[in-house]
Amino acid sequence: MDKPKYPIESVDNALRLLLRFKEGDGLGVSDAGELLGVAPSTAHRLLSMLQYRGFAVQDDDTRTYHVGPALIEIGLKAIRDMSLRSAARPALENVSALLDETVHLLVREGTDVRFVDGVESSRTLRVTSRIGLVLPAHCTAGGKVL
């Protein structure tokens, strides 16, 4: 997608911080400032606003920021709204019932796969749901098929 004709830098910076959360290792104020090319005080204000709105939480011990509940809710809502998911759900339930195994619906994204939906087995020992998880395709059985 092309860059907007009239970008809003502060919004872009906040969204870049949210995208950085995908790496999963937390984000400190100085790292955020370095990532955005802004002063640590500016990075702190952006992270504080994300925290205020629930998009980030701060670890009291490490002082790093991580994905907050609002972002998780939005992601889960997007997954629930996917039409592919709703179309495939009956087949997932049938296969899971037939085999009494956990089954997942995966979608390829470049060299990765995203777990879009799943139905867990009723067995005591089973693979748990991985909905929302993104892994390299070569590391999963379903990814190798795709």
Please report, for the domain that includes residue 40, its CATH number.
Answer: 1.10.10.10
Selected residue with higher pLDDT from 145 and 41: 41
Q: What is the mean pLDDT of the chain?
A: 90
What tokens does 1 get?
Answer: 């997608």
Task: Choose the final residue of a domain: 34, 51, 73.
Answer: 73
Please report, for the domain that includes residue 132, its CATH number.
Answer: 3.30.450.40
Evaluate whether residue 128 is within a structural domain: yes
Evaluate whether residue 56 is within a structural domain: yes
Query: Tens digit of pLDDT for each residue in 87-146?
Result: 899 999 999 999 999 999 998 989 999 998 899 888 888 777 788 889 999 998 888 988
Q: What is the DSSP letter of 128?
A: P
Residue 8: per-residue pLDDT = 93
Determine the Cα angle at 140 with ends 139 and 143, to 5°.
105
Q: What is the DSSP letter of 39?
A: -
The contacts of residue 33 (CB under 8 Å, 6+ apart) are 39, 40, 42, 43
Q: Tell me the pLDDT band of 70, cut-offs 50, 70 and 90.
A: very high
Evaluate whether residue 60 is within a structural domain: yes
21, 59: one domain: yes
52, 89: one domain: no
Range of the domain at 106: 82-145
Task: Choose the final residue of a domain: 73, 91, 120.
Answer: 73
89, 68: one domain: no
Q: How many domains does the chain have?
A: 2
57, 24: one domain: yes
Residue 53: per-residue pLDDT = 96
Evaluate whether residue 24 is within a structural domain: yes
67, 99: one domain: no
